[in-house]
Amino acid sequence: MTENSPEYEFILRDLGHANPAVIVIDAGLATSMKTHLFAKAFPERYFNLGIAEQNAVSVASGLARRELVPLVHTFSNFIARRAHDQVALSVAWPRCNVKLIGGSCGVFDGRNGPSHMAIDDLATMFALPGMLIVEPGDRRQTRELLHAVVSHAGPAYLRLRRHGAPEDLLPDLPVDSGVVVAARQENSRATLVAAGSMLGEALQATRLLNESGVPIDLIHVSILRPLHAQPILESAQRTGLVITLENHVASGAFGDAVSRHVAPHGLRHIRFALPDEFIPAGDPRWQLAYCGLDAVAIADRVTQLIAEGTNV
């Protein structure tokens, strides 16, 4: 979302028209989170509560208790890190209908460095009982999933990239259960499972591998929790190799969620994730390469893994 995804402001405003219970809360990052059209259209339902995220999350909890639907907007780090206790106790524990909209996630917003670039938010959100976790792969999915998140009764976390979300990477494939089979071949050698914002690199890597004569399945997951694992299992049992790809450190997030489903079947599972470090500030292309997660690096690593599997 945002500077390069200007439509978020329209999506949010349209949501305001469709659902009179929706309340938008900002925590001092309105210009980044692109909430201004909603604010203009519904000033009585818009509140910028200033740079005080802990208060913003708990206030949203109070609004939800009056059966309103608050959407709290700020960068993911300031929700998942700074306001984690409030998310846990004011929202998740009482199962309040609060929607947490986090921007600035992972390598697609690393220019401001580790303070702003969320690399561990999914781990903390996955650890909270009952939290719906959603990460779209493109702008169209953002539109569809924002409505899905608001329709869901209960706490939810929508993880958004801030810059350069592509328009529509999977034409004609609705998000449905949050798992889309983007590529499938009977002779696939591996199952690449890409979470949320890694869709673009995953599609490109899949094309590169195909051109090299290495067919793989590609599955994209936008609803990370609860995970609809059946398509992943179906593919993995055919290919024998699962590779999860996520814009987050390996600990405690999407790879772990997939592992819980594939491990009992004895399937080989490798995780492509951000490295175990606070990543230096940089632009997305530079950071993707730094982390070994650009399309070329992904294709090389997948090829190597398949070769290792063959040799074993």
Partner 1 sequence: MPAFSEVIAETEIAQLRRLTNQLRTTIIDVHRRAGSGHLGSSLSIVEALVVLFQQHFNWQRSPDEPWRGDRFILSKGHAALGLYCALSIEGQLDPRLLSSFGQNGSTLEPHPNENLEPAIHASTGSLGQGLSIGVGLALGSRLRSSDDRVFVVIGDGETNEGQIWEAARCAVRLKLSNLIVLLDDNQMQQDGPTPEIMPVPDVSTCWHEMGWCVLECDGHDCAAISTSLSELLEDQAAAPKLLHLHSIKGRGIPFLEGRAESHFPPPLSNEDFLLVKYMLDQGV
The verdict on 41 binding partner 1 (CB under 8 A) reads: no
The verdict on 82 binding partner 1 (CB under 8 A) reads: no
Catalytic residue among 53, 135, 201, 246: 53
Find the helix or strand (DSSP H, E) in which 273 lies.
strand 268-274
How far is it, in rounded angstroms, from Cα 297 to Cα 209?
A: 11
* Nearest approach, Cβ of residue 23 and partner 1 (Å): 7
Task: Pick the closer one to partner 1 by CB: 64 or 158.
Answer: 64
The verdict on 28 binding partner 1 (CB under 8 A) reads: no
Task: Pick the closer one to partner 1 by CB: 86 or 188.
Answer: 86
The verdict on 155 binding partner 1 (CB under 8 A) reads: no
Q: Cα torsion for 95, 99, 104, 105, to the nearest 10°?
A: 50
Give the residue, chosen from 49, 229, 233, 270, that forms a contact with partner 1 under the rule CB under 8 A.
49
Give me the residue label for tokens 């994209």: 220
Give the residue, chosen from 32, 35, 58, 247, that forms a contact with partner 1 under the rule CB under 8 A.
58
How far is it, in rounded angstroms, from Cα 239 to Cα 216?
A: 8
The verdict on 95 binding partner 1 (CB under 8 A) reads: yes
The verdict on 174 binding partner 1 (CB under 8 A) reads: no
The verdict on 6 binding partner 1 (CB under 8 A) reads: no
Give the residue, chosen from 15, 30, 60, 302, that forms a contact with partner 1 under the rule CB under 8 A.
60
Give the residue, chosen from 11, 29, 59, 202, that forms a contact with partner 1 under the rule CB under 8 A.
59
Between the alpha carbon of residue 143 and those of residues 34, 174, 185, the distances in Å are: 14, 11, 29
The verdict on 17 binding partner 1 (CB under 8 A) reads: no
* Nearest approach, Cβ of residue 89 and partner 1 (Å): 5
**Cα angle vertex 56, ends 82, 1, to 5°?**
75
53 included as an active-site residue: yes
Between the alpha carbon of residue 58 and those of residues 55, 84, 87, 117, 124, the distances in Å are: 5, 11, 8, 23, 17
Task: Pick the closer one to partner 1 by CB: 113 or 130.
Answer: 130
Long-range CB contacts for residues 256-264, cutoff 8 Å, separation at least 24: 256/126, 257/126, 257/224, 257/225, 257/227, 258/193, 258/227, 258/229, 258/232, 261/227, 261/229, 261/232, 261/233, 262/229, 262/232, 262/233, 262/236
Residue 54 tokens read as 């802990």
By CB under 8 A, name the binding residues for partner 1.
23, 44-45, 47, 49-50, 52, 54-55, 57-68, 70, 85-86, 89-90, 93-95
- Residues with catalytic roles: 53
